[in-house]
């Protein structure tokens, strides 16, 4: 079955939005931590961004995503920020 142009466009739009979200969620905290190189700023930035990322993932997740996948995504995000 060939997908319709509308469903293809919707899927493409969703992938673009997700890539923008991920890109911003990686770049903004890194810029904050570089511009404010004190430990407290890095700690607060990591905690706030981790909480917001988990919240957004939990809200945006549909019924097929379980909590372990969300936890794994947030854990990988924290590793990128801290690493």
- pLDDT tens-digit readout, 16-36: 887 788 788 778 888 888 888
- Can you say whether the dihedral through the CA atoms of 26, 27, 28, 31 is positive or negative? positive
pLDDT bracket for residue 64 (50, 70, 90): low
pLDDT at 1 over 70: no
Q: How far apart are CA 76 and CA 29, in angstroms?
A: 15
First and final C-alpha spacing in the chain: 44
Residue with the bigger pLDDT between 71 and 43: it is 43
pLDDT bracket for residue 46 (50, 70, 90): confident
Residue with the bigger pLDDT between 34 and 5: it is 34
| Angle subtended by helix axes 67-82 and 39-60, to nearest 10 | 160
Largest Cα span, the chain: 56
| pTM given for the model | 0.60
Neighbours of 65 (CB within 10 A): 13
């Amino acid at each position: 079955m060939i997908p319709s142009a509308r469903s293809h466009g919707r899927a493409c739009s969703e992938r673009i939005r997700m890539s923008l979200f991920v890109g911003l969620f990686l770049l903004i905290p890194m810029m904050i931590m570089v511009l404010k190189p004190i430990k407290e700023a890095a700690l607060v930035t990591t905690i706030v961004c981790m909480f917001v990322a988990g919240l957004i993932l939990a809200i945006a997740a549909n019924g097929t995503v379980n909590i372990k996948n969300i936890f794994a995504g947030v854990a990988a995000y924290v590793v990128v920020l801290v690493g």
